[in-house]
Amino acid sequence: MTKLSVNINKVATLRNARGGNVPDVLKVAQDCERFGADGITVHPRPDERHIRKSDVYALRPLLRTEFNIEGYPSREFIDLVLKVKPHQVTLVPDSPTQLTSNAGWDTKTHQAFLSEVLEAFKQVGIRTSVFVSTDAEMIEYAAKAGADRVELYTEPYATAYPKNPEEAVAPFVEAATVARKLGLGLNAGHDLNLQNLNFFYKNIPWLDEVSIGHALISDALYLGLQRTIEEYKNCLH
């Protein structure tokens, strides 16, 4: 069964807009678990514009499902992950100023760097995932670098889906097949939503995990958090 990891960055963005602790990021994370989420994802950035380091430390002992921390592997990020020891770390090639992740790694160019970072995490028992495009070579070099999984960057799929779903998903099926042949686990994320998620899942049923934040939290404004998580889970059956 494909797991649903809820990215709670947008909850932290809302909290930070007014200061204080409303909404309570820790409570929302626990509620997501209570409502059926299989995991919680956070993406701490250097400017702490949403998730803060203090949130990451506070979440670790509270969560009962899988904890996934994603981010660019700066020295500060690596130290944070090694101290917190989440179940999974997802490496993304973001610069500190990026609004959101918008590309996969060039794993061939950065193979040596990624290999070193991935090994550090694997030595302490943290599962590793590398954010990649559908380019087969990038997936192959993620495997060579020692990744346990790759996470497919799905914004191109989401953009093309309304016009031609079959054409939109085709390169992702090919990429997923490459990953499976290489023995890599498979995650996916970015712009997946209630309209396009089920079609993606039906075409790649061996997905291990999807990580969804912006669309899910936005849907929760209308449907409520519990029903929203139930609807997303229903897309993965």
Tokens, residue 43: 């993406």
Distance between CA 131 and CA 156 in Å, rounded?
14
110 is catalytic: no
Distance between CA atoms of 131 and 154, rounded to whole angstroms? 10
* Active-site residue identified among 33, 66, 190, 209: 190
The question of whether 116 is a catalytic residue gets the answer no
Given 33, 66, 70, 140, which residue is catalytic? 70
Catalytic residue selected from 33, 43, 50, 140: 43
Q: Is the dihedral of CA 21, 25, 27, 32 positive or negative?
A: positive
Structure tokens belonging to residue 149: 């999984």
Tokens of 152: 């497919």
Closest CA to 148 of 119, 124, 174: 119
Q: Is 43 a catalytic residue?
A: yes
Catalytic residues: 43, 70, 190
